[in-house]
Amino acid sequence: MTIISHKHRFIFLKSRKTAGSSVEGWLAPLLGQMDLVITSDENRRLPVLSTPHPVTRLAAIERPFKKALRLVRPGFRLDQHSEAMEVRRSVGEDVWRSYYKFSIERQPWDRLLSLWSWRQHRLKREISFDHFLDRIESNDGDPLVQYWSNIPAYADESGSIIVDTVLDYSKLTCELEGVAKRLRLPLSVDDLPRHKSGIRVKSRSVESLSREQIQRVSRICRAEIEMFGWEEPKCMQQALAG
């Protein structure tokens, strides 16, 4: 989901598997009538009898109608994962320069495990993590691995970061406190909802990855690893040996 808040002068660009839906729910109650929320299809406003930000209001009533509407009106869609350059072109340079722009990133070993678990659940397909990495490397358009990289959410085509801040998922509550303070938002991280959690089983942790899998992810995600200076995690065998 992308939020463009003219009321509070910020732009939030949603990245995948970084608690973006939870942050959406956290920010939405403060938005003004003229603010833009590009959200998932089931959260998008209905043509009639709809509230401005249904992600937090009457969602249990509206979502079933919106899901049904998608079946009969294919055009009833918006992309919740808009790329930074698309949003920049849409809002114009004056807004882009003057608004506070932020996104979230997560270290890739954990993020790809989370994406793998979520996509299997969402698409009802079972696939090994190694096969999942194969699909990413083959780049053949398989929906299982589409948009696997978060870089377009906060960088331009050359890979240069163009938002003001990329929050660290591992320190998210602290980072969001900083956002709320900077924007003077009357929000507490204690109220941050937990959406889309509980899908991944506990055994699918970074520590469970083999040394070869860790190195494969490092090769696939070399750009963001260099961008944020992440270090490879230790596999279970290394941890025991250490």
The answer to whether 18 and 107 have CB atoms below 8 angstroms apart is no
One-character DSSP codes across 44-68: SPPSSS--S-TTTSSHHHHHHHHHH
The count of domains in the chain is 1
Q: Measuring CA to CA, which residue among 130, 81, 120 is closest to residue 103?
A: 81
In a domain, 172, yes or no: no
Q: Where are the beta strands (DSSP E) in the chain?
A: 2-5, 10-13, 36-38, 100-105, 165-168
Which tokens belong to 149? 């990289």
Q: What is the pLDDT of residues 55-108, one digit of tens each?
A: 444 556 655 665 565 555 443 333 456 789 988 988 899 999 999 999 999 999
Mean pLDDT (whole number) for 26-34: 82
| Cα within 13 Å of Cα(148), Cβ side | 28
In a domain, 129, yes or no: yes
In a domain, 156, yes or no: no
In a domain, 73, yes or no: no
Domain that holds residue 119: 107-149+205-242
In a domain, 234, yes or no: yes
In a domain, 235, yes or no: yes
In a domain, 231, yes or no: yes
Which tokens belong to 136? 């990413």
In a domain, 183, yes or no: no
- The rounded Cα 134 to chain-centroid distance in angstroms is 22
Q: Is-above-0.85 flag for pTM? A: no
Given a cut of 70, whether residue 9 has pLDDT beyond it is yes
